[in-house]
Chains A and B, each alone.
Chain A
Amino acid sequence: MALSEPNVESNAAAQPAAAPQRAVMYRHTVAVRLTHWINALILVLLLISGLRLFNYHPALYWGNYGYSGVPSFMSISALEDIETDEPVGVTTVMGHNFITTGVLGVSYDANGEPVSGAFPRWLILPGGLALARDVHFAAAWLLVFNGLVYLMFGLFTGHLRRDLLPVAGELRPRHVLADIWNHIRLRRPRGEAARRYNILQKLAYVIVVFGLLPVMVLTGLTMSPAVTAAMPFLFDMFGGRQSARTIHFLVADLLVLFVLVHIIQVVVTGVFNNMRSMITGRYAILPEDGR
Protein backbone atom coordinates (compact mmCIF):
# COMPACT_ATOMS: atom_id res chain seq x y z
CA MET A 1 0.00 0.00 0.00
CA ALA A 2 2.80 2.34 0.90
CA LEU A 3 4.45 1.75 -2.41
CA SER A 4 1.37 1.94 -4.58
CA GLU A 5 1.28 4.31 -7.51
CA PRO A 6 0.37 7.81 -6.51
CA ASN A 7 -3.32 8.07 -7.17
CA VAL A 8 -5.86 10.80 -7.11
CA GLU A 9 -8.61 10.86 -4.57
CA SER A 10 -11.20 13.28 -5.62
CA ASN A 11 -14.07 14.07 -3.36
CA ALA A 12 -15.80 15.92 -6.18
CA ALA A 13 -18.23 13.07 -6.77
CA ALA A 14 -19.46 13.18 -3.22
CA GLN A 15 -20.15 16.87 -3.33
CA PRO A 16 -23.10 18.62 -4.90
CA ALA A 17 -22.26 19.57 -8.47
CA ALA A 18 -22.26 23.26 -7.61
CA ALA A 19 -19.52 23.02 -4.96
CA PRO A 20 -16.01 23.99 -6.12
CA GLN A 21 -13.81 21.07 -7.10
CA ARG A 22 -11.15 20.27 -4.58
CA ALA A 23 -8.93 17.32 -5.43
CA VAL A 24 -6.37 15.74 -3.13
CA MET A 25 -3.69 13.61 -4.72
CA TYR A 26 -1.34 11.11 -3.13
CA ARG A 27 1.87 12.81 -4.09
CA HIS A 28 4.81 11.32 -2.16
CA THR A 29 5.37 7.63 -1.41
CA VAL A 30 6.48 6.69 2.07
CA ALA A 31 9.99 5.98 0.71
CA VAL A 32 10.30 9.50 -0.68
CA ARG A 33 8.95 11.05 2.52
CA LEU A 34 11.22 9.05 4.83
CA THR A 35 14.39 9.52 2.79
CA HIS A 36 13.55 13.22 2.40
CA TRP A 37 13.44 13.89 6.13
CA ILE A 38 16.40 11.66 6.92
CA ASN A 39 18.30 13.48 4.21
CA ALA A 40 17.34 16.86 5.66
CA LEU A 41 18.72 15.85 9.05
CA ILE A 42 21.90 14.42 7.50
CA LEU A 43 22.53 17.55 5.43
CA VAL A 44 22.28 19.72 8.54
CA LEU A 45 24.77 17.47 10.37
CA LEU A 46 27.12 17.45 7.39
CA LEU A 47 26.94 21.22 7.03
CA ILE A 48 27.60 22.14 10.66
CA SER A 49 30.35 19.53 11.08
CA GLY A 50 31.84 20.48 7.70
CA LEU A 51 32.00 24.15 8.64
CA ARG A 52 33.58 23.15 11.96
CA LEU A 53 36.26 21.26 9.97
CA PHE A 54 36.72 24.18 7.56
CA ASN A 55 37.36 26.51 10.50
CA TYR A 56 40.49 24.52 11.37
CA HIS A 57 42.05 25.53 8.07
CA PRO A 58 39.91 28.31 6.59
CA ALA A 59 41.55 28.53 3.19
CA LEU A 60 40.95 26.84 -0.16
CA TYR A 61 43.46 26.07 -2.90
CA TRP A 62 43.70 24.57 -6.36
CA GLY A 63 46.00 21.65 -7.17
CA ASN A 64 47.35 18.94 -4.93
CA TYR A 65 49.00 20.91 -2.14
CA GLY A 66 47.87 23.84 -0.07
CA TYR A 67 48.85 25.24 3.32
CA SER A 68 49.42 28.62 4.99
CA GLY A 69 51.80 30.42 2.68
CA VAL A 70 50.51 28.99 -0.59
CA PRO A 71 48.35 31.48 -2.53
CA SER A 72 44.76 30.55 -1.80
CA PHE A 73 41.66 30.74 -3.95
CA MET A 74 39.70 31.88 -0.94
CA SER A 75 40.47 32.38 2.72
CA ILE A 76 38.88 33.76 5.86
CA SER A 77 40.98 35.34 8.58
CA ALA A 78 40.93 37.77 11.49
CA LEU A 79 43.11 40.86 11.77
CA GLU A 80 43.72 43.14 14.70
CA ASP A 81 42.84 46.78 14.10
CA ILE A 82 45.68 48.44 16.03
CA GLU A 83 43.83 51.76 16.25
CA THR A 84 40.72 50.39 17.92
CA ASP A 85 42.18 47.13 19.31
CA GLU A 86 39.16 45.41 17.78
CA PRO A 87 39.47 42.25 15.67
CA VAL A 88 38.40 42.57 12.05
CA GLY A 89 37.08 39.68 9.96
CA VAL A 90 38.57 39.53 6.47
CA THR A 91 37.42 37.29 3.63
CA THR A 92 39.73 37.08 0.64
CA VAL A 93 38.46 35.75 -2.66
CA MET A 94 40.91 35.50 -5.56
CA GLY A 95 43.05 38.27 -4.15
CA HIS A 96 40.17 40.63 -3.35
CA ASN A 97 39.70 41.48 0.33
CA PHE A 98 36.33 42.04 1.93
CA ILE A 99 35.69 43.10 5.52
CA THR A 100 33.20 40.58 6.88
CA THR A 101 33.31 41.30 10.62
CA GLY A 102 30.23 39.92 12.31
CA VAL A 103 29.74 37.09 9.85
CA LEU A 104 33.03 35.62 8.62
CA GLY A 105 36.40 35.79 10.37
CA VAL A 106 35.05 37.53 13.46
CA SER A 107 31.59 37.11 14.92
CA TYR A 108 29.96 38.10 18.19
CA ASP A 109 28.97 35.79 21.01
CA ALA A 110 25.83 36.06 23.15
CA ASN A 111 27.45 38.80 25.26
CA GLY A 112 28.42 40.82 22.21
CA GLU A 113 32.09 39.94 22.60
CA PRO A 114 34.00 39.44 19.34
CA VAL A 115 35.14 35.87 18.67
CA SER A 116 37.69 34.95 16.00
CA GLY A 117 36.90 32.02 13.73
CA ALA A 118 36.03 31.67 10.07
CA PHE A 119 32.38 30.68 10.38
CA PRO A 120 30.48 31.96 13.43
CA ARG A 121 30.09 29.69 16.47
CA TRP A 122 26.32 29.54 16.23
CA LEU A 123 26.56 27.96 12.78
CA ILE A 124 29.09 25.24 13.52
CA LEU A 125 29.11 22.00 15.47
CA PRO A 126 30.33 22.53 19.04
CA GLY A 127 33.34 20.52 20.18
CA GLY A 128 36.68 19.88 18.59
CA LEU A 129 38.21 18.45 15.45
CA ALA A 130 37.88 14.79 16.47
CA LEU A 131 34.13 15.08 17.09
CA ALA A 132 33.58 17.05 13.88
CA ARG A 133 35.42 14.35 11.89
CA ASP A 134 33.39 11.58 13.54
CA VAL A 135 30.07 13.33 12.92
CA HIS A 136 30.98 14.28 9.36
CA PHE A 137 32.03 10.77 8.35
CA ALA A 138 29.20 8.96 10.15
CA ALA A 139 26.70 11.35 8.53
CA ALA A 140 28.38 10.82 5.15
CA TRP A 141 27.79 7.07 5.43
CA LEU A 142 24.15 7.69 6.32
CA LEU A 143 23.86 10.04 3.33
CA VAL A 144 25.15 7.30 1.04
CA PHE A 145 22.86 4.61 2.48
CA ASN A 146 19.87 6.93 2.48
CA GLY A 147 20.66 7.95 -1.09
CA LEU A 148 20.88 4.33 -2.20
CA VAL A 149 17.53 3.55 -0.55
CA TYR A 150 16.01 6.56 -2.33
CA LEU A 151 17.44 5.55 -5.71
CA MET A 152 16.37 1.92 -5.25
CA PHE A 153 12.80 2.86 -4.42
CA GLY A 154 12.92 5.59 -7.04
CA LEU A 155 13.67 3.06 -9.73
CA PHE A 156 11.35 0.43 -8.31
CA THR A 157 8.30 2.65 -7.88
CA GLY A 158 8.93 4.63 -11.05
CA HIS A 159 9.36 7.87 -9.06
CA LEU A 160 12.52 8.82 -10.94
CA ARG A 161 11.08 8.14 -14.40
CA ARG A 162 7.59 9.44 -13.76
CA ASP A 163 8.27 12.46 -11.55
CA LEU A 164 11.81 13.62 -12.33
CA LEU A 165 12.45 12.73 -15.97
CA PRO A 166 11.49 15.69 -18.19
CA VAL A 167 8.87 14.67 -20.75
CA ALA A 168 8.89 15.54 -24.43
CA GLY A 169 8.62 19.27 -25.00
CA GLU A 170 9.40 20.31 -21.44
CA LEU A 171 12.98 21.13 -22.30
CA ARG A 172 12.03 23.38 -25.22
CA PRO A 173 13.40 26.88 -24.50
CA ARG A 174 9.90 28.30 -24.91
CA HIS A 175 8.51 26.04 -22.23
CA VAL A 176 11.45 26.64 -19.87
CA LEU A 177 11.16 30.41 -20.35
CA ALA A 178 7.43 30.29 -19.69
CA ASP A 179 8.12 28.38 -16.49
CA ILE A 180 10.79 30.85 -15.41
CA TRP A 181 8.22 33.63 -15.96
CA ASN A 182 5.75 31.70 -13.79
CA HIS A 183 8.37 31.47 -11.05
CA ILE A 184 9.18 35.18 -11.25
CA ARG A 185 5.51 36.00 -10.81
CA LEU A 186 5.39 33.53 -7.90
CA ARG A 187 2.50 31.83 -9.64
CA ARG A 188 1.20 28.77 -7.86
CA PRO A 189 0.55 25.84 -10.16
CA ARG A 190 -3.09 24.89 -10.52
CA GLY A 191 -5.17 22.02 -11.84
CA GLU A 192 -3.42 19.51 -14.07
CA ALA A 193 -0.09 21.42 -13.87
CA ALA A 194 -0.05 21.05 -10.07
CA ARG A 195 -0.10 17.26 -10.35
CA ARG A 196 3.43 17.18 -11.72
CA TYR A 197 6.70 18.86 -10.92
CA ASN A 198 7.33 21.77 -13.24
CA ILE A 199 10.42 21.69 -15.42
CA LEU A 200 12.56 23.95 -13.20
CA GLN A 201 11.67 21.77 -10.24
CA LYS A 202 12.57 18.61 -12.16
CA LEU A 203 15.87 20.08 -13.30
CA ALA A 204 16.73 21.26 -9.77
CA TYR A 205 16.02 17.84 -8.25
CA VAL A 206 17.85 15.97 -11.03
CA ILE A 207 20.90 18.23 -10.66
CA VAL A 208 20.95 17.76 -6.86
CA VAL A 209 20.34 13.99 -6.90
CA PHE A 210 22.52 13.02 -9.84
CA GLY A 211 25.00 15.90 -9.89
CA LEU A 212 25.71 17.79 -6.68
CA LEU A 213 25.34 14.98 -4.13
CA PRO A 214 27.49 12.47 -6.07
CA VAL A 215 30.13 15.19 -6.55
CA MET A 216 30.08 15.83 -2.79
CA VAL A 217 30.70 12.14 -2.09
CA LEU A 218 33.43 11.82 -4.72
CA THR A 219 35.29 15.01 -3.75
CA GLY A 220 35.03 13.91 -0.11
CA LEU A 221 36.60 10.58 -1.01
CA THR A 222 39.36 12.35 -2.97
CA MET A 223 40.54 13.84 0.34
CA SER A 224 41.14 10.35 1.75
CA PRO A 225 44.69 9.02 1.31
CA ALA A 226 43.37 5.47 1.69
CA VAL A 227 40.70 5.83 -0.99
CA THR A 228 43.01 7.56 -3.46
CA ALA A 229 45.57 4.76 -2.97
CA ALA A 230 42.96 2.44 -4.49
CA MET A 231 41.46 5.04 -6.85
CA PRO A 232 44.18 7.52 -7.85
CA PHE A 233 42.10 8.62 -10.85
CA LEU A 234 40.06 10.70 -8.39
CA PHE A 235 43.00 13.16 -8.26
CA ASP A 236 42.82 13.55 -12.05
CA MET A 237 39.05 13.78 -12.05
CA PHE A 238 39.02 16.85 -9.79
CA GLY A 239 42.46 18.32 -10.49
CA GLY A 240 44.13 17.37 -7.24
CA ARG A 241 43.44 16.91 -3.57
CA GLN A 242 43.09 20.59 -2.69
CA SER A 243 40.97 21.21 -5.79
CA ALA A 244 38.67 18.43 -4.60
CA ARG A 245 38.45 20.14 -1.19
CA THR A 246 37.65 23.47 -2.87
CA ILE A 247 34.99 21.88 -5.10
CA HIS A 248 33.59 20.10 -2.02
CA PHE A 249 33.17 23.51 -0.36
CA LEU A 250 31.71 25.25 -3.42
CA VAL A 251 29.22 22.47 -4.15
CA ALA A 252 28.24 22.49 -0.47
CA ASP A 253 27.43 26.19 -0.98
CA LEU A 254 25.26 25.28 -3.97
CA LEU A 255 23.43 22.71 -1.84
CA VAL A 256 22.81 25.35 0.83
CA LEU A 257 21.50 27.66 -1.89
CA PHE A 258 19.25 24.87 -3.16
CA VAL A 259 17.85 24.23 0.31
CA LEU A 260 17.19 27.95 0.87
CA VAL A 261 15.36 28.30 -2.46
CA HIS A 262 13.54 25.03 -1.74
CA ILE A 263 12.29 26.38 1.60
CA ILE A 264 11.25 29.69 0.02
CA GLN A 265 9.29 27.75 -2.63
CA VAL A 266 7.61 25.67 0.05
CA VAL A 267 6.50 28.86 1.78
CA VAL A 268 5.39 30.60 -1.41
CA THR A 269 3.36 27.65 -2.69
CA GLY A 270 1.64 26.87 0.60
CA VAL A 271 3.41 25.74 3.76
CA PHE A 272 0.53 23.67 5.09
CA ASN A 273 -0.19 21.81 1.87
CA ASN A 274 3.49 21.16 1.11
CA MET A 275 4.35 20.04 4.63
CA ARG A 276 1.31 17.77 4.72
CA SER A 277 2.29 16.20 1.42
CA MET A 278 5.82 15.49 2.64
CA ILE A 279 4.53 14.07 5.94
CA THR A 280 1.34 12.20 4.96
CA GLY A 281 1.77 12.12 1.21
CA ARG A 282 -1.53 13.92 0.51
CA TYR A 283 -1.38 17.08 -1.57
CA ALA A 284 -4.31 19.32 -2.42
CA ILE A 285 -4.65 20.52 -5.99
CA LEU A 286 -5.76 24.11 -6.52
CA PRO A 287 -8.66 24.28 -8.96
CA GLU A 288 -7.88 25.50 -12.46
CA ASP A 289 -10.12 28.60 -12.26
CA GLY A 290 -8.58 29.70 -8.99
CA ARG A 291 -9.71 32.83 -7.27
Chain B
Amino acid sequence: MSLITRRSLMAGGSAAAAALLSGCDPVSMPDVESLRQILDFGQFMSMQAQRLLLAGQPLVREFTEADMSPEFPPNGTERPNGMAYFQHMMSNFANFRLTVDGMVKKPLSLALDEIKAMPSRTQITMHNCDEGWSAIGQWTGVPLAHLLQSAELMPEARYIVFHCMDEMVRTPDGTGFYYESIDLFDALHPQTILAYGMNGKALPVAHGAPLRLRVERQVGYKHAKYVNRIEAVDRLTHIARGRGGFWEDRGYQWYAGL
Protein backbone atom coordinates (compact mmCIF):
# COMPACT_ATOMS: atom_id res chain seq x y z
CA MET B 1 0.00 0.00 0.00
CA SER B 2 2.64 2.50 1.01
CA LEU B 3 4.79 1.20 -1.83
CA ILE B 4 2.18 1.95 -4.44
CA THR B 5 1.75 5.41 -2.97
CA ARG B 6 5.44 6.03 -3.24
CA ARG B 7 5.42 4.81 -6.82
CA SER B 8 2.51 7.06 -7.64
CA LEU B 9 4.32 9.93 -6.03
CA MET B 10 7.37 9.30 -8.15
CA ALA B 11 5.12 8.90 -11.12
CA GLY B 12 3.65 12.28 -10.30
CA GLY B 13 6.89 13.90 -11.28
CA SER B 14 8.68 14.40 -8.00
CA ALA B 15 11.11 11.52 -8.12
CA ALA B 16 13.88 13.59 -6.64
CA ALA B 17 11.71 14.96 -3.83
CA ALA B 18 10.28 11.54 -3.02
CA ALA B 19 13.71 10.00 -2.84
CA LEU B 20 14.97 12.76 -0.58
CA LEU B 21 11.93 12.73 1.69
CA SER B 22 11.97 9.00 2.13
CA GLY B 23 15.72 8.97 2.57
CA CYS B 24 15.49 7.91 6.20
CA ASP B 25 12.81 5.27 5.75
CA PRO B 26 14.13 1.74 5.88
CA VAL B 27 13.60 0.21 2.46
CA SER B 28 11.86 -3.11 2.98
CA MET B 29 11.94 -5.77 0.31
CA PRO B 30 8.64 -5.66 -1.50
CA ASP B 31 6.72 -8.89 -1.11
CA VAL B 32 5.03 -10.63 -4.01
CA GLU B 33 1.73 -8.89 -3.31
CA SER B 34 3.42 -5.48 -3.55
CA LEU B 35 5.06 -6.45 -6.84
CA ARG B 36 1.62 -7.48 -8.06
CA GLN B 37 0.35 -4.02 -7.09
CA ILE B 38 3.10 -2.31 -9.07
CA LEU B 39 2.22 -4.38 -12.12
CA ASP B 40 -1.49 -3.72 -11.64
CA PHE B 41 -0.65 -0.04 -11.37
CA GLY B 42 0.61 -0.14 -14.97
CA GLN B 43 -2.59 -1.77 -16.10
CA PHE B 44 -4.68 0.69 -14.08
CA MET B 45 -2.87 3.59 -15.75
CA SER B 46 -3.35 2.07 -19.20
CA MET B 47 -7.07 1.65 -18.66
CA GLN B 48 -7.55 5.13 -17.23
CA ALA B 49 -5.52 6.75 -19.99
CA GLN B 50 -7.25 4.79 -22.73
CA ARG B 51 -10.71 5.48 -21.34
CA LEU B 52 -9.82 9.17 -21.33
CA LEU B 53 -8.65 8.95 -24.94
CA LEU B 54 -11.80 7.07 -25.91
CA ALA B 55 -14.24 9.30 -24.02
CA GLY B 56 -15.83 10.38 -27.29
CA GLN B 57 -16.34 6.70 -28.26
CA PRO B 58 -14.44 6.94 -31.58
CA LEU B 59 -14.67 3.98 -33.94
CA VAL B 60 -11.64 1.83 -34.70
CA ARG B 61 -10.37 2.16 -38.25
CA GLU B 62 -12.44 0.14 -40.69
CA PHE B 63 -10.56 -1.23 -43.67
CA THR B 64 -11.56 -1.99 -47.25
CA GLU B 65 -11.81 -5.46 -48.80
CA ALA B 66 -8.48 -4.79 -50.52
CA ASP B 67 -6.82 -4.44 -47.10
CA MET B 68 -8.03 -7.82 -45.82
CA SER B 69 -5.44 -10.47 -44.98
CA PRO B 70 -5.47 -13.53 -47.26
CA GLU B 71 -6.05 -15.80 -44.26
CA PHE B 72 -7.24 -15.29 -40.73
CA PRO B 73 -5.62 -17.58 -38.17
CA PRO B 74 -8.06 -18.83 -35.54
CA ASN B 75 -7.03 -18.11 -31.97
CA GLY B 76 -7.93 -20.16 -28.92
CA THR B 77 -10.25 -23.13 -29.36
CA GLU B 78 -10.69 -24.26 -32.96
CA ARG B 79 -13.49 -26.71 -32.27
CA PRO B 80 -15.14 -27.25 -28.89
CA ASN B 81 -15.06 -30.77 -27.50
CA GLY B 82 -18.15 -32.65 -26.50
CA MET B 83 -21.27 -34.09 -28.08
CA ALA B 84 -23.51 -31.10 -27.36
CA TYR B 85 -21.48 -28.85 -29.63
CA PHE B 86 -21.01 -31.60 -32.21
CA GLN B 87 -24.77 -31.99 -32.49
CA HIS B 88 -25.12 -28.25 -33.04
CA MET B 89 -22.56 -28.58 -35.81
CA MET B 90 -24.44 -31.49 -37.39
CA SER B 91 -27.74 -29.62 -37.33
CA ASN B 92 -26.10 -26.42 -38.54
CA PHE B 93 -27.07 -24.71 -35.27
CA ALA B 94 -30.80 -25.10 -36.02
CA ASN B 95 -31.53 -25.86 -32.36
CA PHE B 96 -29.06 -23.33 -30.99
CA ARG B 97 -30.45 -20.67 -28.69
CA LEU B 98 -28.72 -17.66 -27.22
CA THR B 99 -29.79 -16.79 -23.70
CA VAL B 100 -29.67 -13.18 -22.52
CA ASP B 101 -30.29 -13.03 -18.78
CA GLY B 102 -29.02 -11.75 -15.45
CA MET B 103 -29.79 -8.14 -14.63
CA VAL B 104 -32.24 -7.58 -17.45
CA LYS B 105 -35.96 -6.88 -17.22
CA LYS B 106 -36.84 -9.10 -20.19
CA PRO B 107 -34.63 -12.20 -20.42
CA LEU B 108 -34.33 -13.47 -23.99
CA SER B 109 -33.87 -16.83 -25.62
CA LEU B 110 -33.13 -16.34 -29.30
CA ALA B 111 -32.67 -18.71 -32.22
CA LEU B 112 -29.94 -17.89 -34.72
CA ASP B 113 -32.50 -16.86 -37.35
CA GLU B 114 -34.09 -14.43 -34.90
CA ILE B 115 -30.69 -12.88 -34.25
CA LYS B 116 -30.00 -12.62 -37.97
CA ALA B 117 -33.33 -10.83 -38.41
CA MET B 118 -32.21 -8.08 -36.04
CA PRO B 119 -30.42 -4.94 -37.24
CA SER B 120 -26.94 -5.91 -38.39
CA ARG B 121 -23.60 -4.28 -38.79
CA THR B 122 -20.76 -5.32 -41.10
CA GLN B 123 -17.23 -4.09 -40.42
CA ILE B 124 -13.74 -4.87 -41.72
CA THR B 125 -11.42 -4.57 -38.75
CA MET B 126 -8.03 -5.63 -37.46
CA HIS B 127 -7.72 -8.45 -34.97
CA ASN B 128 -4.78 -8.05 -32.59
CA CYS B 129 -3.53 -11.16 -30.84
CA ASP B 130 -1.67 -10.47 -27.62
CA GLU B 131 1.14 -12.68 -28.94
CA GLY B 132 1.87 -10.06 -31.57
CA TRP B 133 0.25 -11.17 -34.82
CA SER B 134 -2.64 -9.38 -36.48
CA ALA B 135 -5.11 -10.14 -39.27
CA ILE B 136 -7.85 -8.19 -40.99
CA GLY B 137 -11.27 -9.71 -41.54
CA GLN B 138 -14.86 -8.79 -42.21
CA TRP B 139 -17.47 -9.42 -39.54
CA THR B 140 -21.26 -9.29 -39.67
CA GLY B 141 -23.39 -9.41 -36.57
CA VAL B 142 -25.93 -7.79 -34.32
CA PRO B 143 -24.74 -4.82 -32.28
CA LEU B 144 -24.55 -5.93 -28.67
CA ALA B 145 -26.22 -2.65 -27.69
CA HIS B 146 -29.31 -3.72 -29.65
CA LEU B 147 -29.53 -7.06 -27.83
CA LEU B 148 -29.12 -5.37 -24.47
CA GLN B 149 -31.76 -2.78 -25.33
CA SER B 150 -34.17 -5.53 -26.32
CA ALA B 151 -33.56 -7.28 -23.01
CA GLU B 152 -33.81 -3.97 -21.11
CA LEU B 153 -30.75 -3.75 -18.92
CA MET B 154 -31.38 -2.94 -15.28
CA PRO B 155 -29.66 0.20 -14.01
CA GLU B 156 -27.54 -1.88 -11.60
CA ALA B 157 -25.93 -3.83 -14.44
CA ARG B 158 -22.28 -2.89 -14.93
CA TYR B 159 -20.69 -5.80 -16.78
CA ILE B 160 -21.72 -8.11 -19.59
CA VAL B 161 -20.48 -11.69 -19.25
CA PHE B 162 -20.15 -14.00 -22.27
CA HIS B 163 -20.49 -17.68 -21.46
CA CYS B 164 -19.02 -19.99 -24.07
CA MET B 165 -19.51 -23.58 -25.19
CA ASP B 166 -15.81 -24.51 -25.30
CA GLU B 167 -14.48 -26.19 -22.21
CA MET B 168 -10.79 -25.34 -21.97
CA VAL B 169 -9.98 -27.57 -19.00
CA ARG B 170 -12.16 -30.22 -17.38
CA THR B 171 -13.14 -29.24 -13.86
CA PRO B 172 -15.77 -30.77 -11.56
CA ASP B 173 -17.42 -27.38 -11.00
CA GLY B 174 -17.49 -26.31 -14.65
CA THR B 175 -15.16 -23.34 -14.14
CA GLY B 176 -13.02 -24.61 -17.03
CA PHE B 177 -15.39 -23.23 -19.69
CA TYR B 178 -14.21 -20.20 -21.61
CA TYR B 179 -15.89 -17.00 -20.59
CA GLU B 180 -15.18 -13.32 -20.91
CA SER B 181 -16.60 -10.04 -19.68
CA ILE B 182 -16.57 -6.38 -20.66
CA ASP B 183 -18.06 -3.32 -19.03
CA LEU B 184 -20.84 -1.19 -20.48
CA PHE B 185 -18.34 1.32 -21.89
CA ASP B 186 -17.24 -1.33 -24.40
CA ALA B 187 -20.52 -3.27 -24.51
CA LEU B 188 -22.51 -0.31 -25.83
CA HIS B 189 -19.88 0.79 -28.38
CA PRO B 190 -21.33 0.70 -31.92
CA GLN B 191 -18.60 -1.65 -33.21
CA THR B 192 -19.11 -4.16 -30.41
CA ILE B 193 -21.11 -6.87 -32.15
CA LEU B 194 -22.06 -10.48 -31.72
CA ALA B 195 -20.87 -11.79 -35.08
CA TYR B 196 -22.52 -14.65 -36.99
CA GLY B 197 -20.85 -13.91 -40.32
CA MET B 198 -17.21 -13.68 -41.37
CA ASN B 199 -15.79 -12.58 -44.73
CA GLY B 200 -19.26 -12.74 -46.30
CA LYS B 201 -20.02 -16.31 -45.17
CA ALA B 202 -21.44 -17.97 -42.08
CA LEU B 203 -19.01 -17.76 -39.16
CA PRO B 204 -16.76 -20.88 -39.39
CA VAL B 205 -16.46 -23.27 -36.47
CA ALA B 206 -12.77 -22.38 -36.09
CA HIS B 207 -13.75 -18.76 -35.53
CA GLY B 208 -16.47 -19.36 -32.97
CA ALA B 209 -19.67 -20.50 -34.71
CA PRO B 210 -22.44 -19.73 -34.31
CA LEU B 211 -21.73 -16.50 -32.39
CA ARG B 212 -18.59 -14.71 -31.32
CA LEU B 213 -17.93 -11.37 -29.71
CA ARG B 214 -16.10 -8.61 -31.55
CA VAL B 215 -14.88 -6.01 -29.07
CA GLU B 216 -12.64 -4.11 -31.44
CA ARG B 217 -10.75 -1.91 -28.99
CA GLN B 218 -9.30 -4.84 -27.05
CA VAL B 219 -6.95 -7.69 -27.93
CA GLY B 220 -7.74 -11.24 -29.06
CA TYR B 221 -8.60 -13.13 -25.90
CA LYS B 222 -11.43 -10.72 -25.06
CA HIS B 223 -13.25 -11.77 -28.28
CA ALA B 224 -15.19 -14.69 -26.78
CA LYS B 225 -16.09 -17.46 -29.26
CA TYR B 226 -18.93 -20.05 -29.19
CA VAL B 227 -21.08 -17.70 -27.08
CA ASN B 228 -24.39 -19.21 -25.97
CA ARG B 229 -25.27 -17.04 -22.98
CA ILE B 230 -24.97 -13.36 -22.24
CA GLU B 231 -25.39 -12.40 -18.63
CA ALA B 232 -25.67 -8.87 -17.24
CA VAL B 233 -24.13 -8.54 -13.78
CA ASP B 234 -23.16 -5.84 -11.30
CA ARG B 235 -19.89 -7.55 -10.31
CA LEU B 236 -17.65 -10.35 -11.57
CA THR B 237 -16.48 -11.87 -8.30
CA HIS B 238 -19.11 -14.63 -8.17
CA ILE B 239 -18.37 -16.06 -11.63
CA ALA B 240 -15.82 -18.90 -11.92
CA ARG B 241 -12.68 -17.71 -10.13
CA GLY B 242 -13.94 -14.16 -10.02
CA ARG B 243 -11.56 -12.23 -12.25
CA GLY B 244 -13.87 -11.81 -15.21
CA GLY B 245 -12.61 -14.34 -17.72
CA PHE B 246 -10.99 -17.70 -18.31
CA TRP B 247 -7.56 -16.18 -18.96
CA GLU B 248 -8.08 -13.45 -16.38
CA ASP B 249 -8.63 -16.22 -13.81
CA ARG B 250 -5.18 -17.46 -14.84
CA GLY B 251 -3.22 -14.22 -14.50
CA TYR B 252 -4.15 -12.18 -17.57
CA GLN B 253 -5.41 -8.63 -17.20
CA TRP B 254 -9.14 -8.03 -17.44
CA TYR B 255 -8.68 -4.83 -19.44
CA ALA B 256 -6.74 -5.58 -22.59
CA GLY B 257 -6.65 -2.44 -24.72
CA LEU B 258 -2.97 -3.02 -25.45
Binding site for B on A (CB under 8 A): 2, 30-31, 34-35, 38, 53-54, 56-57, 64-70, 128-131, 133-135, 137-142, 145-146, 148-149, 152-153, 223-232, 235, 241-242, 245
Interchain CB contact (< 8 A) of A223 among B73, B128, B218, B250 = B128
Q: In this assembly, does B232 line the interface, its C-beta being within 8 Å of a C-beta of chain A? A: no
CA distance in complex: A245, B129 (Å): 13
Question: Which residues B121-151 have CB closer than 8 A to chain A?
Answer: 126, 128-136
Determine how close the nearest CB of chain B comes to the CB of A266; give it in whole angstroms. 23
A137 and B43 contact, CB distance less than 8 A: yes
On whether the beta carbons of A30 and B16 are closer than 8 Å, the reply is yes
Whether B219 and A227, one on each chain, are in contact in the complex, defined by CB atoms closer than 8 angstroms, is no
Q: A2-B16, A68-B133, A129-B131 are in contact. List 19 more A-B contacts (CB 8 A).
A: A30-B16, A31-B15, A54-B132, A57-B132, A65-B126, A65-B135, A68-B73, A130-B247, A130-B252, A137-B43, A142-B11, A153-B16, A227-B257, A229-B54, A229-B60, A229-B216, A230-B53, A230-B54, A241-B126
Contact (Cβ within 8 A) B131 A226: no
A224 to B132, CA, bound (A): 11
Cβ contact within 8 Å between B217 and A138: no
B71 within 8 A of A: yes
Q: Is B87 an interface residue (CB 8 A)?
A: no
Chain A residues within an 8 Å CB radius of B59: 229
Q: Which residues of B contact A65 (CB under 8 A)?
A: 69, 126, 133-136
A70-B69 in contact given A129-B131, A227-B50 (Cβ < 8 Å): yes
Residue of chain A at shortest CB distance from B72:
A67
CB contacts (< 8 Å) of B94 on chain A: these are none
Judge if B29 is at the interface, Cβ distance under 8 Å. no
Q: Which of B45, B58, B258 has the most C-beta atoms of chain A within 10 angstroms of its own C-beta?
A: B258
Cross-chain contact A148 with B43 (CB below 8 angstroms) = no
Interchain CB contact under 8 A, B69 and A145? no
Known contacts A53-B132, A129-B131; A137/B216 CB under 8 A? no
Tell whether B19 is near chain A: CB-to-CB under 8 Å: yes
| Pairwise interchain contact B216-A141, C-beta atoms closer than 8 A | no
Specify which of B14, B45, B126, B130 is in contact with A64 (CB 8 Å cutoff): B126
Most buried by A among B129, B131, B132, B134: B132
19 A-B contact pairs sorted by A residue (CB < 8 Å):
A53-B131, A56-B131, A56-B132, A57-B133, A64-B126, A65-B69, A66-B134, A67-B71, A129-B131, A130-B253, A137-B42, A141-B11, A141-B45, A224-B50, A226-B257, A227-B258, A228-B60, A229-B60, A229-B216
Interface of chain A: mostly helix, strand, loop or mixed: helix
Question: How far is A70 from B20 in the complex, measured between Cα atoms in Å?
Answer: 53
Closest B residue, CB atoms, query A3: B16
Query: Of A135, A145, A148, A229, which is in contact with the most chain B CB atoms at under 10 Å from its CB?
Result: A229
Q: Which residues of chain A have C-beta atoms less than 8 A from B128's C-beta?
A: 223, 225, 241
Alpha-carbon distance between A21 and B104 when the two chains are bound, in angstroms: 84
- B residues near A (Cβ < 8 Å) are 10-16, 19-20, 38-43, 45-46, 50, 53-54, 58-61, 63, 67, 69-71, 73, 126, 128-136, 216-219, 247, 250-253, 257-258
> A226 and B217 in contact (CB under 8 A), knowing A35-B15, A140-B42, A141-B42?
yes
In whole Å, how far is A135's beta carbon from the nearest beta carbon of chain B? 7
Most B C-beta atoms less than 10 A away, residue of A56, A224, A235: A224
User: B115 to chain A: closest CB distance in Å?
Assistant: 25
* Contact status A131-B132, CB under 8 Å: no
Q: Is A245 a contact partner of B136 (Cβ separation < 8 A)?
A: no
Report chain B residues within 8 Å CB of A139: 42
The residue that B11 contacts in the complex, of A2, A145, A228, A245, with Cβ under 8 A, is A145
Is A66 a contact partner of B133 (Cβ separation < 8 A)? yes
CB <8 Å contact, A230 and B73:
no
A residues within 8 A CB of B60?
Answer: 225, 228-229, 232
A225 contacts B133, C-beta separation under 8 Å: no
- Also in contact, A137 and B15, with CB within 8 A (given A226-B217, A241-B128, A241-B134): no
Task: Name, among A31, A56, A231, the residue most crowded by chain B CB atoms within 10 Å (CB to CB).
Answer: A56
Contact of B257 among A34, A68, A225 (CB under 8 A): A225
What residues on A are CB-neighbors of B19 within 8 Å? 34
Task: Using CB atoms, name the residue of chain A closest to B73.
Answer: A67
